């Protein structure tokens, strides 16, 4: 089953991640272009995923993270998560 994108609410900060990126930053234009391309692909993603089962990570999130990894020359998903300060060890 295809997961749906949901906006993360702020937990310990009054600012959203979008507020932290300057208005003229080039990543804002890239995000808009990626959002438009992924919106066009949304019907294809719907066909690819089953209607039953456990929801997956939305493919839009996975593809956007791959773009960020390419822009910042991150070699692996693990290093990407470490740079985002995700704790991979429980």
Q: pLDDT by residue (tens digit) across 13-28?
A: 677 767 778 888 888 8
Tokens found for residue 22? 């300057």
Q: pLDDT by residue (tens digit) across 29-57?
A: 998 999 999 999 999 988 888 888 888 88
Q: Which helix (H) or strand (E) segment is 61 a member of?
A: helix 59-71
Which residues lie below 8 Å from residue 59, measured CB to CB, with a gap of 6+? 2, 38, 45
Tokens found for residue 14? 């009054």
CB count in 10 Å sphere of residue 33? 11
**pTM surpassing 0.85?**
no
């Amino acid at each position: 089953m295809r997961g749906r994108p949901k906006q993360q609410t702020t937990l310990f900060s009054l600012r959203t991640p979008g507020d932290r990126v300057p208005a003229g930053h080039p990543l804002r234009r890239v995000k808009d272009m990626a959002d438009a391309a992924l919106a066009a692909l949304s019907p294809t993603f719907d066909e690819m995923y089953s209607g039953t089962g456990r929801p997956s990570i939305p493919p839009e999130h996975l593809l956007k993270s791959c773009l960020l990894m390419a822009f910042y020359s991150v070699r692996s998903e693990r290093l990407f998560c470490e740079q985002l300060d995700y704790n991979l060890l429980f």
